[in-house]
Structure 1
Amino acid sequence: MTDVAGNTGQAGATYFDNVPYDIDLVRPTATITLADSALTVGETTTVTFAFSEPVTGFTRDDVVLANGTLGDPTTHDNGRTWTATLTPTANVYAGANTIRVNLTGVTDIAGNTGTATASSANYTVDTRPANTAGPTATITLADTSLTVGETTVVTFAFSETVTDFTRDDIVLTDANGMLGPLTANADGKTWTAPFTPTANVEDASNTISVNLAGVRNTAG
């Protein structure tokens, strides 16, 4: 090898110039968690936004949420983990809510912006006043005029998602019949059961009731 002045390189000598450099093409992602996912009257909760790496540019404007307001996010570990206080909206029942972050609004230290959104798991809000009635139910029969050999389907439709509803909560004292097994719909609000009238009976005034004290909504 010869330079422009005609000097040849030293025989057998090899020199390397090591110039270190970094490559970071990975976009930041986020995980969102709530300390309490069932919010009731007077409660607040802490929302944690855990990014895959430290980020800048993250503000409340990057957050989309339902049935509540969020305080300003703060970080205590140089931008990797952020927390904010969520205050639920008053006088609301909402069983399906999520918090989402628009990741295009945040940037890592290498200058990569996020993409798409990150979403929390579902949380519920029930901030109705204490004197507000809990879940209610509507009971209907597919056939309201039963004769010999007939059965019918009874539907129990609640005003909201409930738990703890069993056949023990059903009152058949004035029903003149027997109820079969309850089948729950996937929505958590509707149950059905077959009803078989008592034999050798004629009665025009029959009712099926539900003891609502035995069921509760998702907020308790």
Structure 2
Amino acid sequence: MNVAANVATDAAGNNNTAATQSTQAVDTAVPTVVITDDTTGTATGDVTYTLTFSESVTGFAADDITVSGGSKGSFTAVSGSVYTLVVTPDASSTSDITVNVAANVATDVAGNNNTAATQSTQAVDTAVPTVVITDDTTGTATGDVTYTFTFSESVTGFAADDITVSGGSKGSFTAVSGSVYTLVVTPDASS
């Protein structure tokens, strides 16, 4: 702030001298925070989240982060503006992990509180596929039996060699879809 010379006059007609400039630092910019993670696609294990503030803050802790679909693990202050949090997805889950940081949980050097972060959402699949085996024969088999293997979700890598047969021999193996397979078994002779 400035006051120039000769802009005011006293009763005797004397003009003022210029004032020494007055400076006041101003910081009204609130810290913002962006949440990112290290997993592309669907998470099947731990996910490391990075929480990056627009400037250094104090008072930020793991308790200021809200997580659903997983549990909080290691929390690290990398710097005054960068923090990491490891989240372990819920077991046997296909529910997304969501991570939130509310407003007013961290403060910059000027005392400005942060704004809320945009929610981070990460797809998860920790559900293990299950398989049910059925056959097409009621009662006692007198000939070939077709077994159907129905998985709870699409799978890859399933082959006839993954099936153990006792009391018969493997025949035709067919992938009906990614989750349904069939195998024809011929009973042993004279069984």
TM-score relative to the length of structure 2: 0.57
Matches within 5 A, 1:62-77: 62-77=64-79
Matches within 5 A, 1:138-153: none
The answer on 1:39 being equivalent to 2:43 is: yes
Off by >4 Å, runs of 4+ in structure 1: 6-9
Partner of 1:128: 127
Tell me, yes or no, if the aligned pair for 1:102 and 1:118 is still in contact at 8 Å: no
Render the CA deviation track for 1:107-149: whole Å, top value 9, x for unaligned: 11111112344311x31222234xx338xxxxxxxxxxxxxxx
Partner of 1:212: 178
Tell me, yes or no, if the aligned pair for 1:100 and 1:118 is still in contact at 8 Å: yes
Partners of 1:8 and 1:71 in 2: CA distance: 75
Higher radius of gyration, 1 or 2: 2
Give the C-alpha shift of residue 100 in structure 1. Answer: 0.9
Partners of 1:17 and 1:62 in 2: CA distance: 45
Give the partner amino acid of 1:34: D
Partner of 1:51: 53
Give the partner amino acid of 1:70: K
Tell me, yes or no, if the aligned pair for 1:103 and 1:118 is still in contact at 8 Å: no
Partners of 1:117 and 1:34 in 2: CA distance: 14
TM-score relative to the length of structure 1: 0.50
Partners of 2:119 and 2:70 in 1: CA distance: 16
The answer on 1:61 being equivalent to 2:51 is: no
Partners of 1:75 and 1:88 in 2: CA distance: 22
Tell me, yes or no, if the aligned pair for 1:29 and 1:118 is still in contact at 8 Å: no
Q: Which runs of 5+ in 1 are unaligned?
A: 135-158, 163-208, 215-220
Partners of 2:58 and 2:70 in 1: CA distance: 25
Seen in structure 2, the aligned counterparts of structure 1 residues 210 and 91 have a Cα distance that, compared at 3 Å, is same
Give the partner amino acid of 1:107: T
Q: How many residues were matched structurally? A: 134
